[in-house]
Structure 1
Amino acid sequence: MTRDAAFADLLDRSYAALLGRPLVPAGQDKTPWLYDAPSALLAHDTSADPLFTYANRAAQRLFGYDWDEFVGLPSRLSAGDEDRGSRQEFLDTVARQGYAEHYRGRRVAKDGRVFWIEDVTLWNLTRDDGSPAGQAALIRRWS
Structure 2
Amino acid sequence: MLFDFESDFAGSLRCIPMIVRMKLDLCGIKLTLRQWSRFTHEDRAALVDKPGETPTEQAAYRQHVLELVQSRSDEPARFLPPESHESWQQPDQMPDDIAQQAGADDISPPTDTQWANLSPLQRFALIKLARSKHENENFVPAMKEFGLLPS
TM over 0.5: no
Scaled by the length of structure 2, what TM-score is found? Answer: 0.28
Output the TM-score relative to the length of structure 1. Answer: 0.30
